[in-house]
Structure 1
Amino acid sequence: MKRILISIFLIVNSFSVYGATLSVSTSPGLVSHSVSLNPPINVFWNVGASGNPGVHTSTVGTFRALPGNTGASIGSTINTIITFNIPSSNCTEIADTIFDCISPPEIIRIPADVLAFAGANRLTTIYYNRTFTDGVSATGSVQINLNFTVVNPEKILSITRETLRFNDNSTVKFIKPNTPLTAVAELKFTGTGLLDAFWEYATPSSTTGRAIFIRMNSIRRYLGAGGRVILQSPPLPTDITGQYLVRLQILKTLSNPNGVEFTNDLPDGLPVLRYTIGRKSSGGETFILPLIKTQFPLNNAFLKVDTRFNWQSVKNAKAYQLELYLPDTHDRPTINPSTNVGDKPIDDSVINNKRPSTGLLIPATETSLALSTLSREALKRGKTYYWRIIAIGADGHVLTTSALKKIRTP
């Protein structure tokens, strides 16, 4: 009996000298969690500790598929530091140098990438874990049962706005061949759900007419609780001279393996960025061509029999092409009657994936033309069309284009 008492005394005494975290538990120990709402979770950490004085600290909270430190962590971590100081008001001495400590509530919101991983891997239970230590460590976990059913239809993920820019915040680029370039999308959204999207681009071989887009990487990300998200594209191709288009294609609807729905409230015309790769002369000089400057007709003018389209010449152009497009009704910008121009610049996305209603191709020796009778007859009466000029190089690639302008038919 004396040997047992001496052993207990030595164990307790060693804890009091060196300090140790004996046990970690949580309140509550189990939580049912609605993924579609993703509400915050309040967790109280209960730590059994020895040592006086002592400092018992957890520096990070991790999410895992199994309790404790078993297996790799999932997604983002919670980098809030929780510390128990002994003695303190949070710790009660229940035996000689043995303390029971309870933390203030830690407010946890499960990161979107953790929920996305759980949804993609059909995990209905995950664990939030913390390890406390003061020389000797112990780990505790909160079991979180995930419910992927949409509780409130109004909370279904809805993309309300998408804006695009290049990595330097510009929206139009004229660059040298093989210049590094990426695009950035900013999405504003409401609700919660799994975003399914992908970046795609069109090369100069198709951007003169109906653009043919080539798919790049896929994006699957869980978005929670409304707000905004920034998405960056992979490196964009810049090896071929001419004009490229790039956009983020958002899938209209989808369901993840557990039934979370996604809706897209954007209009059919998704935002599109354009960038032009300059070409090199025989002497190695790179020509970076700006947009073609058009002179007449003025924006939103009426098309007449004698209306002539005029523009400034483009170096190294071998031909020019005039194109007129009839946009969909919802694509038309608002017209300010006092200025007779659009309230905002016309986004090129209104003509992407559309064929010109009519147009003319002329040699580069001319920078002015009038529509032929046949071309005018292809236009509908009482409509507003968008028009632009395209400069074409010797190999058929687009050198540059003009900005879109409007013209009205009588």
Structure 2
Amino acid sequence: MNLRFLPLALAFLVSASVLPLAPGAFAGILSVDTTQARIPISSVGPSTVTVTWQVVRLGGSAPSNPGTVSSPSGALIVNGTVLATIHRPLSRFAPGPAATNENLIFTETFTVPQGVAFRAIKSGVPIVYQRTFTDSLGVTPPPSLSGTTLLTPSGPGSVPLNVSRMELRFDDDSRFKVLPKDRRLRAVARLNTSGSGLIRGQWEVATAATTAGTPVFRPLALVRQPVAGSRPVTITSPPLPTRFEGNNLVRLRLDEPDPLFDEPQLQYYVTPESPLPQRQDPQPMLVTSPSLGTPLTLTTRFAWQGLPGAHLYKLEIFGAPPGPGGNVVANDVVTAVPLDRAPDTESLRGLRPLTGIVVPAAVTELRLQGHTLAHLPNDRRYLWSVRALDEEGAVIGRSPAREIYKP
């Protein structure tokens, strides 16, 4: 009787032995999605973000296929480069009911660093946040599948950084200096910016050894200045070298963003020794060009009569009441007759020069460069004057204040 039922028993054992290999024992991930395709974040600081993931797991036939779906970390990606990793594991047990797919929900909260937002703004692309989920029982479909959502910087600083203007002055608010050796001096750059990002550049100086010909600038200090939102930015240089006698130049050269203008530069002249107190009134200096009514342009020629004992000359331009000057002529006028013997010093009293240039005593005429003229707004009247300084930096001569109009 027992032998009679032996084939049936063997059949049952064979069926039972293959049950673990039945289709219902396999699992995999069908899809990974988020509840929000785009999530706005701050463009001016770190942002706290909450992301909800929906993972669909394949359901099999009977019996059930329990397992675990997990993701060890997430990645913040800009232009294909991982800039930050969110080391926060997500994991859920999946019961694996027979003959039906499972929907698993994962919710996480994390912080997006401000630097990642800056990089996205600079590149003009959103941040891609990506996670890969893996099924512990998965074979087919693939046991792992990735999902993404986009993090988009928004607000007034969400556009790429741009610098529209740069103004350079020394730390006493002047645009050029004559100072003794080893005196402390710094330059200050004021930039008008829009958008957000990172200003990259360097302070550079050209010492007196190279400025007699084509200036050779060398690095002084690197600049790395984050900017958030459209606002003015002030960048101060390290102490400038003042041990080189003669004419020195300093500038802030921008690497990023690319400037839409020629970077201005400042000039400072270092004298051999500390200036001595003036023991006599400056002598009057005679100017020969430009004549009254000549407009101020790149071709305007400034000329004066040399003064015995001068070591250098300093041309200064001051502000005057706005409005066009009278008798403006189209062409420069040069006269051999000296103009204005009596210096008008009262009209310049209390005024700070807007710009200027220093030249050695061998030079008695010049034309202003574009970066110097850029300090002077158009459609304005200005006063200009030339001063002569001796080897000790003392003022020994001064021309009268004369008016000129910049159209």
TM-score normalized with structure 1 length: 0.41
TM-score computed with the length of structure 2 as normaliser: 0.41
Structure index of larger Rg:
2
